[in-house]
Amino acid sequence: MRRALLIGLLLLTACDDMTEQPKEEHYTEQKGSPATPPADTVAVSEPPASAPPVTAALLDRGRQRFDIYCSACHGMTGAGNGMIVQRGFPAPPSFDLDRLRQAPPQHFYDVVTQGQGVMYGFAGRIAPPDRWAIAAYVKALQASRNVPIADVPADQRGALE
pLDDT at residue 28 in the model = 59
pLDDT for residue 139 is more than 80? yes
pLDDT at residue 17 in the model = 64
Convert the pLDDT of each residue in 66-110 to its tens digit: 999 999 999 999 999 999 999 999 999 999 999 999 999 999 999
Please state, for a pLDDT cut of 70, what percent of the chain lies above it.
76
With cut-offs at 50, 70 and 90, classify the pLDDT of residue 145. confident
72 vs 25: which has the higher pLDDT:
72
pTM over 0.75: no
Nearest to 136 by CA among 44, 70, 45: 70
Choose the CATH number for 56-145 among 3.20.20.240, 1.10.760.10, 3.40.50.620, 3.40.50.300. Answer: 1.10.760.10
